[in-house]
Amino acid sequence: MQREQQIADNLARVRERIAAAARRSGRASEAITLVAVTKTHGPAIVRLAQAAGITDCGENRVQEAEQKIAALRDLPLRWHLIGHLQRNKARRAVALFDLIHSVDSLRLAQTLDRLVAEQAPPRRLPVLLQINVSGEASKEGFDLPGGLDNRQALPAFYATIAQIVALPHLELRGLMTIAPYSNDPETTRPVFRALRLLRDDLARRFPQAGWNQLSMGMTNDFEVAIEEGATIVRIGRALFGERIA
C-alpha cells in the first residue's frame, strides 16, 4: 500500500478511537488534541501526515526537531517538545516549540523563563509540567513519592510549584505524564487518574495559573487516558507503524 494511504487510513482509525473514547468520557472529540509523534520519521513522512490532516507534531530531541522544523517551515504545523530537555538546549527549544510538555525541574523552568525574557518582543512560553506519577526511576518528571497520599513530600512539592507559577514568562497550561509501558491499558488507568486528581488539586491551590491541559496517553493506552480526562494524546506507532531508527 502507498505510504500516503497507509498514514491516512491509520489517522482515520485513530480519530475514530479518540472519538469513541471521548464519547465514553462525556466529551466532544474536538476537546482532544492529537499530537502525531514524528520522532525518527523524516520530513517527507511528516508532509504526508500533514496532508492527511495532522496539525500538531511531537518530537523528543531538540537536535532532530531543529532540522525537521526547518525543512517544514512552509507548513502550518504546531511543534510540541515531549522529551527531556537539557538546560544547555533550552535556548534552541524556546525558539522552536509551541508547547513544551517536559518541564521537569524548577531549574529548567527558571532557565526557560530567563531565556524568554531576553527575547523581543516579550511573550509567555506555553509549558506543561511533567509528573512522574508512577515513581519509576527511569522516568523524568517531578516525583510524587508515594503519590498524593505521601503527606510529607507534598509541602516541598507545592513550594516548588508556587515558584514556577510565579515565573512571569511561562504560561503554565497543565500537566503531562508518561505511564509505565504495559500491554494492558487497564494497568495504567490509576496513573492517569492520579494525574487528573493532582491537576484538580493544583488548580484549587494555584487558581492564578492555567491547568486545563492533561497530556497523557500514547499508542498503547490513549483510550484509557481519554476516559480519564486527557486533553492531549501523543501518538506515534498507531499512525506511522513501529519505529525502526
Ligand X SMILES: *Cc1c(COP(=O)(O)O)cnc(C)c1O
Instruction: Tell me which residues touch ligand X (CB under 6 A).
Output: 37, 39, 60, 82-83, 178, 218-220, 234-237
Report d(CA 198, CA 177) in Å as an integer: 11
Pick 90 or 230: Cβ nearer ligand X? 230
Minimum CB–partner distance for residue 54 and ligand X (Å) = 14
Residue nearest to ligand X (CB): 236
Minimum CB–partner distance for residue 119 and ligand X (Å) = 26
Minimum CB–partner distance for residue 242 and ligand X (Å) = 8
Pick 123 or 237: Cβ nearer ligand X? 237
Pick 105 or 220: Cβ nearer ligand X? 220
Minimum CB–partner distance for residue 159 and ligand X (Å) = 27
Pick 124 or 237: Cβ nearer ligand X? 237
Minimum CB–partner distance for residue 117 and ligand X (Å) = 27
Pick 109 or 239: Cβ nearer ligand X? 239
